[in-house]
């Protein structure tokens, strides 16, 4: 699970989408049309995001509450902690 979860973060798994032929925009694919691979990827992404949320303090949970996948949440936490660390080293 750990390796698959890390791969999910590295690959930035997003919800499956299709291109709307009229607007040429990405549109979320209905879940009933997801392939087995798309479904497995989304389940893995959900598990990663839930694992991150369970492992952090409530203050940090608020920081990532609106992100929809593990990659986005991970990047926000990394950015915040790197910034916090560099400011404490400068003091």
- pLDDT class of 2 with cuts at 50, 70, 90: low
- pLDDT for the residue numbered 89: 66
What are the beta bridge partners of residue 19? 26
The pLDDT score that the predictor gives to residue 27 is 95
Average pLDDT over residues 35-56: 89
Q: Percentage of the chain surpassing pLDDT 90?
A: 34
Q: Which tens digit of pLDDT belongs to each residue from 51-90?
A: 889 999 988 889 999 988 888 898 999 998 887 777 666 6
3-class SS at 17?
A: strand
Whether 70 contacts 5, CB under 8 Å: yes
Angle at 31 between CA 26 and CA 33, to 5 degrees: 85
pLDDT of 90 reads 61
């Amino acid at each position: 699970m750990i390796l698959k979860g890390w791969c999910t973060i590295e690959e930035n798994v997003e919800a499956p989408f299709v291109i709307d032929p009229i607007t040429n925009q990405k549109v979320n694919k209905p879940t009933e049309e997801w392939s087995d691979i798309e479904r497995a990827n989304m389940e893995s992404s959900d598990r990663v995001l839930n694992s991150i949320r369970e492992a952090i303090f409530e203050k940090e949970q608020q920081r990532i509450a609106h992100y929809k996948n593990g990659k986005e949440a991970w990047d926000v936490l990394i950015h915040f902690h790197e910034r916090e660390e560099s400011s404490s080293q400068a003091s």
